Every structure is written in structure tokens, then in C-alpha cells.
Amino acid sequence: MEFAFLSAGVTGKIAGYVKDAKTGEPLAGVNVIIKGTNLGAATDNEGYYVILNVPVGTYTVIATMIGYTPMEVKDVKVSIDLTTRLDFELRRTAIEGEIVVVVAERPLIRKDEFTSKHMVSSEEIEMQPIDDFLEIARNQAGVVGNHFRGGRTGEVLVLIDGIPVKDPSGSYSGNLGGFTADVPEFGIQEMEVSLGGFSAEYGNVQSGIINLAMREGTERFSGSVRFITSNFGSKLNELLMGKRDWWYGTRYQHLIENDYEFNLSGPVIPHKVNFSLSGEIFDRKQGYFPNQNSLSHSYQGKLNVRPFHNIKLTLGGLYSSQQWDQFYFPASRYGPPPDYPINEYFDVRDTTLFHYVYVKDPSSYSDRQGTEYDTTGFFGADSAFFNKVKTFYVGGMLDYLWDYKKSSNMGYLVLTHTLSPKTYYELRLQVFSTNYHYATKDIEDRDGDGDTSEDLVWDVTKEGPHPIYRERELNYWWIRGDDPGYRDQKSWTKYIRWDIVSQVNPHHLIKAGVEFGLHRTKVTNVSWTLNLNTVRKDIWDEDFYDLGLYIQDKVEFEGIIALIGLRYDMFNPNGFGDPVYYPADYNYPFSQVDEGGYPILINPKKASVKHQLSPRIGISHPITDRDVLYFTYGHYFQRPDGYFLFRNLHFQALTKVGNYIGYPDIKPEKTVTYEVGIEHLFTRNLKGTITGYFKDVSNLTDWIKYVGRSIQNIELNVFTNADYGNIKGLELTLEKRPGKFFGGKFNYTYSIAKGRSSDPWGGAGTFTSAKRMNILDFDQTHTISANVTIFTPQESIFGMKILGIRPLANWKINVQFNYGSGLPYSSYGTGKVNDKRMPWTSTTDTRLAKRVKLGKLNLYWYFDIFNVFNRKNIEWLGSTYYYELTGDPSIVRRDNVTGEYIRNPQVYSDERQFRFGFSIKF
């Protein structure tokens, strides 16, 4: 049995030949059936069969023919975008009722591999010490954080059951590729991580694809529940955490995390309707102050209906929400030192207590409302001071905490219609929405219209519900007031896609399709400038759409396999509403406004429709039974985020500097990739892979500074296509298939990523300025990762029974190790960019699990250790000047009064942490 590449969303196919075991002649008319399903096919005159559109999973496949002994193959695994090659050799019937049973084994090497892919099963996800499936993606070769092969974070696309899940407003809001949803890990059947060489069916992506195949319903009821916590009880928490030497000896205020997960699946009407439902609740509490909490919910479900033998309907949905409170509130107090007050910024995490700013003169501080600061730093407080701070918050300041809320909703319908055993089509419909909101909790809806964005009043005179500055509260504190900021962002996507797949003959698999997405984003963002005298607004409501068409042919012949495709993309920033206009020259954008306060543009231009053709080619050449050489080449097109198109489109509330303006006519970003690799099978269970790649990236988004001559020389930072870059690298992978006692994967990546800016906020300068390419902020030259699982099986030399239980059997320990060269930083005072490196970093995480079988139930116990060796990694620098002077990365600056160094402990990664939990499966 072998596997071949197939681009088919989140399903695979099973195909092969059936022959007479004695003569080798092909057998026609053999029925090949997937047991427990209505999927199957019959062989043709050449003995060839194909079963298309098989959901991801593990199956038993049976081949039957009159006069021959039936053959049953167990543990046949079907994966995303792969063909499972399964051949049968049937023997003539000798004993009536006899069945030949074979256990399938998936070979590690795939003879028609076109590009780098990493497949992760639900069992692997469950066994690793992670909180999010994205963490597994980050541990693959070629991935550094959220950067896939040197690309920006916005260049990654996440698919759920083949449907893109992406916030159209922005990819750079702290989420990977605009992926704003949470997905319960128990709902994932398989995850595919692709790093390049995407087939023509995938659009609007440049660097990486994470494709999630969600669990299908089953024909018998099954389920699981799991609970994992970091709360061992107060005394044990203190013992496990100890003291943090780089946190200045302050006792760790324990971070409490509780994770609840479940999955349930089964039939509604046997063989007609089944379902799968998964959910996760993640609750996090910080021990420093009350209400420093975060709470997230995610639920995913799928209902499969088969009204006819050749039609399947899938109704799916995903809901996720996150809500968190933040103790980020400016206040001031006198002492220490007693000579002047300290302004406290309470941004309390597990890595620090307070952030403070020294003020030279208390009277100056009082008169200027605390806007003139001198020195920034951190300190560790004793218990007496800590209690005063806690009392201060409990005494009423909880009413003024920032409140963050984020949610996303997705519903989708998939219609699969099988036209013949070798042809089917799929129709996908999706509605996706996101909502992001933050503000202080006590904002009031004054006019009762449900919109608080127009009711924002921060009163500098210290009156009203939202005073920027508050008088002295409690005798110890000066309160600056609510942080002046409000954001309400909503996005909607309506998506439709149609694909048709046909196995024309054993040598050609044709696939074609069309997709259309209509997007709308509504943003209300209000904030004050640093001097608190002027307000900034970013308010817009725009729609836009994109269209994609593709066709591809997978060609298979002895000795060479090719995937040849062509994709067309179109993007219209005008949508279906009024056209979007922009000034022809941002140095002279407008000079007048209309009665509604909107600018009358000078020489306005309409945003144009963008088009691109993208060829995609992949070739695989099996050199021997143990070696495969592959190559891929492709052009990739990605639409800019709505944020960079429409931000402050109407030039509202401009200030002298710091105005960021969207550019509706910005071009899509483009990447051209080349990849070559070779796979070698050392043994039946050990495979090595070497891959080299080069990426040429152009039309990247950045901002350019203009001076508005017609608007009193106000500076405008306009987003446009100002950046480019190139990335090259080499990846080595060694994979050991799980055997009797262990299995795992080792990865090494060498890469060089260069460009003009590392993100859209780098600033390309003026329009005429030239900016050379530099090492990018996320360039990590050397990365090493290893994931190893060691286990004892049920029947082993460790499996002695004690009171009916095998205490040494069914143990698993998973170890995730990451080691990498330091990230770059710019040396102090030289004008050079990213010319030096921070020290190497390493982390080791582990999960220990034990399975106990109780009748039909399986009980699992878990114990996790993060940062096993308590490694003190530097994540960023407090000051490059003091780091180069002293070698201490935590120094922020020097106290002008005492002469002591002021340190920021947040530059270091978290210390060792522990969790434990259990799960029940049935």
C-alpha cells in the first residue's frame, strides 16, 4: 500500500489494482467496499478501482468477487489531500466462508510527493503538551513563531473542512493570518501543515496553509471528556513554583489555568444521519489581583445527512468567544524613593508586578496631570505594599478596568453529489462573522441607540462618567483616569465555492472550481493623542469582493508524476456599493470639506479592479523504491487586508503627525517560490528528507510618509506597496515511525530572510527614499526541533498485573524540544539594522500520560511540565545600549536620582510550570 498526492480539500481517495494472486491477471468486476460506510467501487477491465471523496480517518476495506476468497485490509488510513494506494491479490476460493485478513501499514515515503507537508493526527495532537493546534504548526521545520518560511504573519491561511477562516479586516491584529477563531482540539481529526507549493485550488495565501479536517460523525456513539489544570492547591503551588531569581526574588503569584474539553459523536438515523460535537472552555486567573482573568469558549459541530446513496449534505458550525479584563490603569503614589511620586501602570502578568515612571517634581506632575515623565523601570514589591495595591483595587477601581471581548461565528453547508464512481462535485456555502470590542466597563449608551461609540466623553475637567484625570482616591493614590480608547470592529464574509473532480482514467485526475467571497468590515476606533488635547478617529464601513477560478491535472505515469495547474484571481475593492475614491496625490489630498464634514478630494481617482494569473507546477520522480525527487514552482497572489485599504478613508480628526491612511488602490502582494527536495527511506520505519527553497516576494504592504501641502502640512502615513524581500533556506527532517517503544521526528532548518521591513508598520520613508534590504526581525538562521514519544504497550515485558491492573503498561511520554539561534537586533548608535544577534534559546516541554482500561471506558492521566530545565531565555531587549554595555538584557535605563539600574523582568521567558489532568473515553 502506498500514498499519492491529491488536492481535494479535506478528503482523500483510495485507489489501486486487483489481480489474481496466482496468475497476476487483472480482475474486472471486483467490489471494493469501505466497511461500515456506503463508499465503494468496482474494478474496470484493467483491474483498476478508485474511491473518491473519502473522509479523513482509519478504515477497513474489503475486496470481494464470486469464486475468490474475500480479502479484508484493516487500519487503512486516509489523510487530507492524499491518495491511499491499496492493491489486492485475490486467491480462488478453497474453503467456503474463509476471509483473508491483512493489517495495512502506511509506508513513510510517498512516490508522488510534490512539496513539503506535515500531517498530524488527532492522536498526536492529544498527546502533545499544547493549548492550541497552532503550537504544533510552529514546531514544524521551516516555521519560526507565526512566520512560515520567512513570510510575514499575515501570509498564512487556516482552512476548516476546506473553507477559509480569515478576518477580512486584518491579518496583523495578533492573530495568525487573520485567523480570529478558536478551535477545540478534540474536534480535529487531522491537521495538514503546508509550507509551499500549494496547488491551484488554493488562493489568497503566500507562505503557509493549515488545513483542519474536523471529526466526522460515527455509526456508534463515542465520546471523550478531558480536564487539565495548573492548580495543585495553594501549598503545593508554592512548593512547585518556588522563587524567581530573575524576578528579584518575588514570590510567584500562581497562574491558575483550567481547561475543559469534550467530544461526542454518533448516529441520529443509522447510515443516514450522524453528528459530531466538540467544545472547549479555557479559564485563566492571575493571582495578583481580583478579576485579572480571561475566559474563552469554542464549540464546533457537524451534521452529516445522506438522503440518497449518491448525495451527502454536511452542515457545520463553529463558535468561539474570548473575554478578558486587564489591569492596565495609570495611578501614582509618593515613594519610594520619598523625593518624588511614582506613576504605576498596572499591566500585571505572571512575569512582573508593576511598571512605574518617575516624575522629577511633584508639583510639575500635579500641574501637568502626569504627562511629563523622566525614568521608566520595574521593581519587586514586598507583601505590605502588595496588600495596599490589592486594597486599592478592591476599593472601587474595578469599575474602570478595560473590558476586551472577541467572538467569531461560522456556519457552512457542503453538498457532495457523486455523478459516477469516478466523478463528483462539491458545493460549499459559508457565512463567517467576527466581532472585536474593547472599552472601559462603565461607558454608557446615552442616547439608547445601542451604539456607544458616539457617547465617549473623557472629561479633562475631572467631571462626568469618564474623567481623564481623577482626584486623589484613598489617601495614598493619585488616579489619572480611564485610558482614553475605544474600539468596535465587526466583519462579515459570505463565501461560495464549487469544485468538480473526475478521475478521467488511471493517468489523469482533473479538478476545476470557482470561488467567490463578499466581505464587509465596519470599524469604529476612537482614541486620544498623548497630550490628551485632540481626538483621533478611524471610522469606516466598506465592502469588497474577490473571485478565483482554477483548473489542474494530476498526471501519473510510471517514473514521473506531475501536478499542473493554473489559477485566476480577481479582487474588487469597490464591492457592490458606491465606488471607493482616493486622491491622485497625497501631498495635495483635499482643501475643502462638504456639509457633512467629509473631504472634497482634489483630482479623485476610483480604485481599480486587480487581476492575476498564477501558474502552479509540481513534479515528482521516483528514482528507486527508496528515493523520490520532487520539484515545485508557483506564483501566489494575496489580497491586502481591509485595514490597509480603508483605514481613515475619510481623513477624520487628523493631527499634525501620526495619521495612518489606507490606500484603496493598493495592489495584491505576490510571492514566487521554487522548491526542490529528496526523500530517502533508510529502513521500513525511518525516513529522511532534504528540501531547499527560494522565495521572491514583491508588492508587500508598508507605509510611506506624505506631507499634505493642501492641509497645513499635516503628515500622512499612507499604506502602499513599498516593500519586497527574498527568503532562502534548507530543511532536514528525520522521521521514525512509531514502533514497539518509541517514534518521533527531528527537524533542522537553515534560513535567511531579508526584506525592507518586517511588517507593514516598518515605514518605508518618503516616496522617493531608497531603503535597502536587511535581515528581518524574525529571521532565525538555525532552528532545531524534535518531538519524541516513548511508550509501553499493553502486552509488554513491563505489563505484569497487580490487582488486575498493569501499572507499567500503557505509559506514554512525549517530549518537545526546540533549540534556535538568536533573533537579530540593531546595534546601538550605528544606524545599522539587525546587524547583531541575541543568544541562542532552548525550551523543553513534556507530557506524561497513563491509560487505564475500565470495562468499555478508557481513563487517561496527564502530567505536563513546561520549560523542564527552567531555561532563562531572552525574548527581547530592554535597552540595546545597556545590553551592549553590561550584557544584562533586562536593564531599561538608569535612575537619574539613585544611579541604580532599572530592570524589566518581562524580557525573559516564563520559568518552569506544571499541569495535570485526566480524560475519559468511551
Confidence of residue 902 (pLDDT cuts 50, 70, 90): low
Question: How far, in Å, CA of 828 to CA of 802, rounded?
Answer: 65
Residue 237 phi/psi, 5-degree rounding, is -55, -45
Beta-carbon contacts of residue 624 (< 8 Å; ≥ 6 apart): none
Beta-carbon contacts of residue 603 (< 8 Å; ≥ 6 apart): 583, 584, 585, 588
Which range scores top for mean pLDDT: 343-347, 382-386, 453-457? 453-457
| 3-state secondary structure labels for all residues of 391-409 | HHHHCCHHHHCEEEEEEEE
Mean pLDDT is lowest, of 100-109, 360-369, 440-449, 743-752, for 360-369
In this model, does residue 438 exceed pLDDT 60?
Answer: yes
Q: What is the pLDDT of residue 201?
A: 94
710-755 pLDDT, tens digit each: 888 999 999 999 899 999 999 999 999 988 889 999 999 999 999 9
E strands, 639-713, are 659-661, 669-683, 686-708
Pairing of strands 71-78, 100-103: parallel
Confidence of residue 405 (pLDDT cuts 50, 70, 90): confident
Confidence of residue 176 (pLDDT cuts 50, 70, 90): low
Task: Give the mean pLDDT of the chain.
Answer: 81
Q: What is the pLDDT of residue 273?
A: 95
Pairing of strands 560-572, 535-557: antiparallel
Mean pLDDT is lowest, of 29-43, 161-175, 379-393, for 379-393
485-536 pLDDT, tens digit each: 678 889 999 999 999 999 999 889 999 999 999 999 998 887 765 444 566 7
pLDDT exceeding 70 applies to what percent of the chain? 78
Beta-carbon contacts of residue 825 (< 8 Å; ≥ 6 apart): 834, 836, 837, 838, 877, 880
In this model, does residue 465 exceed pLDDT 70?
Answer: no
Q: What is the pLDDT of residue 404?
A: 78
Provide the phi-psi class of 204: left if phi over 0, else alpha when psi is between -120 and 50, else beta. left
Question: How far, in Å, CA of 736 to CA of 681, rounded?
Answer: 10
Q: Which residue has the higher pLDDT, 608 or 910?
A: 608
Paired residues of 267 in beta bridges = 274
Q: What is the pLDDT of residue 767?
A: 44
Q: What is the pLDDT of residue 27?
A: 94
Q: What is the pLDDT of residue 85?
A: 87
The DSSP-derived string for 604-659 is EEEPPPEEEEEEEEEEEEEEETTEEEEEEEEEEEEPPPHHHHHTTTT--S--SS-E
Pairing of strands 88-90, 11-20: parallel
Question: How far, in Å, CA of 595 to CA of 612, rounded?
Answer: 40
In this model, does residue 331 exceed pLDDT 90?
Answer: no
Residue 734 in grid coordinates: 528525520
pTM of the model: 0.85
Question: How far, in Å, CA of 133 to CA of 153, rounded?
Answer: 16
CA angle 110/115/121 to nearest 5° reads 65
Q: What is the pLDDT of residue 113?
A: 75
In this model, does residue 358 exceed pLDDT 70?
Answer: no
Confidence of residue 23 (pLDDT cuts 50, 70, 90): very high
Domains in the chain and their CATH numbers?
A: 2-103 (2.60.40.1120), 792-916 (no CATH)
CA angle 378/379/382 to nearest 5° reads 155
608-660 pLDDT, tens digit each: 999 999 999 999 999 988 999 999 999 999 998 998 999 998 888 888 888 89
Confidence of residue 559 (pLDDT cuts 50, 70, 90): confident
Q: What is the pLDDT of residue 392?
A: 43
Judge contact between 276 and 289, C-beta under 8 A.
no
Provide the phi-psi class of 748: left if phi over 0, else alpha when psi is between -120 and 50, else beta. beta
